[in-house]
């Protein structure tokens, strides 16, 4: 007598994978004047799986308001009252 049953490791799908957790530090270099919403992409740095391409890690920059400086495009502005002597 023969009996068939599904593999406990792969559930009858024919593949079984072992995974491990790893941490990797990515350094994001933000260029001067980068606009709000600018994307910095690290190609093929996401999780890897057999039979699949590794994905990309994408960082999206969000601009924070500053107490003194205002931004217009790639330029920074500050509004400040100064005396005539300081201006010259």
Q: Tens of pLDDT along 69-88?
A: 998 887 889 998 999 999 88
Q: Count H helices and E strands in the chain, helices first.
A: 1, 4
Q: How far apart are CA 24 and CA 27, in angstroms?
A: 10
Which helix (H) or strand (E) segment holds residue 84: the answer is: helix 84-87
pLDDT at residue 57 in the model: 93
Q: How do residues 35-52 score in pLDDT, each as one tens digit?
A: 889 999 999 888 877 777
């Amino acid at each position: 007598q023969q009996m068939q049953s599904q593999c406990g490791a792969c559930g009858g799908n024919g593949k079984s994978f072992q995974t491990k957790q790893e941490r990797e530090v990515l350094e994001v270099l933000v260029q001067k004047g980068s606009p709000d919403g600018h994307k910095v992409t690290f190609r093929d740095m996401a999780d890897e799986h057999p039979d699949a391409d590794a994905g990309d890690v994408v960082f999206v920059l969000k601009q924070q308001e500053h107490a003194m400086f205002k931004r217009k495009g790639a330029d920074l502005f500050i509004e400040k009252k100064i005396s005539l002597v300081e201006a010259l």
